[in-house]
Amino acid sequence: MNTVTRFAPSPTGSLHLGAVRTAIFNYLYTKKEKGKFILRIEDTDQERSSQSSLNQILESLKWLGINHDEGPLIQSEKLEHYRNIAHELIDKDLAYKCFMTNNEIEKLKEVAAKEKKIYKYPRTWRNRKDHPEGSSYVIRFKTPDNHDIIFKDTLRGTIKVDSNNLDDFVIIKSDGYPTYNFSTVIDDAEMGVTNVIRGEDHLSNTSKQILIFGSLQKEPPIFTHVSMILGKDKSKLSKRNGSKSINDFKMEGILPISILNYLARLGWSHGDQEIFTLDEMIRLFDIKNLTKSPAIFDENKLKWVNAQHIKMLDNSELLKVIDVVFCEKINIDLALSVVKEKAKDLLSIKESLKFCQTESIKIGDEFKDEISNESTKKLISEFYKRVADIDTSNIDEIKDCMQSFLLEKDLKMKEVALPLRIILTGSKNSPGIFEIISILGREIFIKRVEDYIQS
C-alpha cells in the first residue's frame, strides 16, 4: 500500500510552530516512504477563516520548502458533498436532525454547572420525527451505547474509549458547514490517507472520528499523536512565552532549513546528531523514533542551529539570500566566508557587510574622539603607506606588515587596529582588521584612509 499523508491547517491565523512541526513530520515520513503528501485547507470555520491567513500559510510552506504533491484542496469548495453524506447517514439511522436552540442548550449547561456535572447533550431529538418546518437545525451523529471504541497509536499503543462517555456530537452545523471531526474523516477516507501524524491535542477527537469511519465503512488511517511544544515555563506555547509565526522568523534572518532542522529535533532524534540537511532528515527519519514527551521550545537553541547552517551554506547560496549589493573591487567571497563564521542570523550578516557596500563610508560622531587627534592621524598615515606596497589579497602579508610596524613603533595591536577598524568600516563591530583590509583591497583601503587623513 502506498503511503499517503496530509497536512491540514485551518486558515484562521498565521502558521504556528506546532502546526509546522507536524507538517515536517508528515513530509519527512512521506518522502522517506516515497509516498504522496497532500495539502488540505480546513476552512470550515466561517467566522475565523480568511484569505489573508490562507495566503500566509501557502507562502510560509513554500518558503520552508515543504512542497505538497497534491493540493491545496479547499474544504469550503465541497460543502454540498459533506451535507449529502450527512443526509445519507440520516437515511441509515446513523445521524439525525436536532432542532434544539442555542438558548435551550445554554440553560442545560447552566443547570449542569450548578450541579457540578459535565454537560452532555440529552439526545432530545435523537428519535423524534416531529420536525418543525423551516426551523434551523444541526445534524448530530448517533453515538452507539455500550461500545468500546478501540484504535492504535504508534506512539501511545492501543487506546480504548467507552462510547458512553461521548454525546451525540454535531457533524453539520446550523450554517450548513461540517464540523472538523466530520469533514476531516470524509476527506481522509476519500483521499486514501494511510497515516495521520498530528498533535496530541487531537487525541480526544480520534474516538469520534473512528465512529465516523465505521459509519462510512472505511478503514481509519494509522494515527501518531506527537507531543505538544511548550514554552520554557512548561506552559502551552503562546506569544507570551516565545511563540512566533514563520514569517517572524523569516524577518529575523532565520534560514528555512534551520527551522526544519530545529523543529524536527523537537520530538525526533537520530543518535546525538543535532545538525541535519533536508536530505539527511528524509533518509534518517523513523516514525519509531518520535517521542511522546513534551518538547520545550528554546529560541537560543534555534539560533545556534541557524548559526551552524549559515556556516555550512555555500557562499553562492548565501549571496542569494542576503540581498546585499557589494561595491566594485570588494573581495566578496572572503567577506562572506569571514562574516558567516560568527553570524547567528542573516540580519547580523547584512549588518556586518555594510562596510562593503560603498566605496566611501560615513563615520559617526560617536567615534570622532577616538580618531580625530593628530597623533592617531600620523600613526594611521604611516601604516597605510606600508600597506600600499603589499599584496592585500594575501592576509599573511598584511599580518607581517602589521607586526613589523608594531615592533618598530613599540605599539600594541589595539592602538592601531581599533582606530583603523573605525576608519575602514565606520564601526567597532566588524571582522578582524587583517580580513577587513584584504576584503576591501588596496584601492578602497587607500581611499578610505586618505578620506580620513584629509578630513
What's the CATH number where 43 sits? 3.40.50.620
- Determine the longest span between alpha carbons in the chain, in angstroms: 106
Q: Give me the DSSP letters along 336-362.
A: HHHHTTT-SSHHHHHHHTGGGS-SS-P
Q: Does 453 fall in a domain?
A: yes
Supply the DSSP symbol for 178: B
How many domains are contained in the chain? Answer: 4
Domain boundary among 172, 198, 222: 172
Q: Does 177 fall in a domain?
A: no
pTM: 0.90
Instruction: Tell me the pLDDT of the chain (455 aa) as tens digits.
Output: 699 999 999 999 888 888 999 999 999 999 999 999 999 999 998 888 999 999 999 999 999 999 999 999 999 999 999 999 999 999 999 999 999 999 999 999 999 999 988 899 999 999 999 999 989 999 999 999 999 999 999 999 999 999 999 999 999 999 999 999 999 999 999 999 999 999 999 999 999 999 999 999 999 999 999 988 888 887 877 655 557 889 999 999 999 999 999 999 998 989 899 999 999 999 999 998 998 888 889 999 999 999 999 999 999 999 999 989 999 999 999 999 999 999 999 999 999 999 999 998 888 878 877 788 888 899 999 998 888 888 999 999 999 999 999 999 999 999 999 999 999 999 887 789 999 999 999 999 999 999 888 87
Distances, alpha carbon 445 to alpha carbons 25, 337, 390, 436, in Å: 51, 19, 12, 9
User: Residue 428 belongs to a domain with what CATH number?
Assistant: 1.10.10.350
* 199's grid cell: 498533535
Whether 12 and 99 share a structural domain: no
Whether 196 and 67 share a structural domain: yes
* 274's grid cell: 543535532
Question: Does residue 211 contact residue 149 with C-beta atoms inside 8 Å?
Answer: yes
Whether 57 and 157 share a structural domain: no
Domain that holds residue 412: 322-455
Close Cβ partners of 329 (under 8 Å, ≥ 6 residues apart): 441, 443, 444
Q: What residue ranges in 27-125 does DSSP mark as E strands?
A: 36-41, 70-74, 95-98
Close Cβ partners of 283 (under 8 Å, ≥ 6 residues apart): 32
pLDDT of residue 242: 56
Task: Tell me the C-alpha distance between 341 and 307, whole Å.
Answer: 8
* 17's grid cell: 510552530
Find the Cα–Cα–Cα–Cα dihedral 42, 44, 46, 50, rounded to 10°: 10
Helices (H), 124-202: 180-190
Find the Cα–Cα–Cα–Cα dihedral 337, 346, 301, 269, rounded to 10°: -80
Q: Does 274 fall in a domain?
A: yes
pLDDT of residue 71: 94
Task: Tell me the C-alpha distance between 19 and 10, whole Å.
Answer: 10
Query: Residue type for 52, please?
Result: S
Can you list the pairs that 49-56 forms with residues at least 24 positions away whose Cβ atoms lie under 8 Å?
49/10, 49/11, 49/12, 49/76, 50/11, 50/12, 51/11, 53/11, 53/12, 53/13, 53/14, 54/11, 56/14, 56/15, 56/245, 56/247
Question: Does residue 38 contact residue 191 with C-beta atoms inside 8 Å?
Answer: yes
Whether 276 and 350 share a structural domain: no
Composition of the chain by helix, strand, coil, percent to 5: 50, 10, 35
Q: Does 178 fall in a domain?
A: no
Q: Give me the DSSP letters along 300-323.
A: HHHHHHHHHHHHHS-HHHHHHHH-
Task: Tell me the C-alpha distance between 334 and 49, whole Å.
Answer: 48
Asked about 239 being catalytic, the answer comes back as yes
28-58: pLDDT as tens digits: 999 999 999 999 999 998 888 999 999 999 9
Distances, alpha carbon 54 to alpha carbons 43, 44, 50, 101, 410, in Å: 9, 13, 6, 32, 66
Q: Does 291 fall in a domain?
A: yes
Whether 424 and 361 share a structural domain: yes
Q: Does 114 fall in a domain?
A: yes
Whether 14 and 53 share a structural domain: yes
Task: Tell me the C-alpha distance between 23 and 6, whole Å.
Answer: 8
Q: Which residue has the cell 525526533?
A: 268
pLDDT of residue 433: 93
Q: Does 317 fall in a domain?
A: no
Name the 3-class secondary structure at 139. strand
Out of 239, 378, 385, 409, the active site residue is 239
Whether 163 and 290 share a structural domain: no
User: Residue 88 belongs to a domain with what CATH number?
Assistant: 3.90.800.10
pLDDT of residue 241: 56
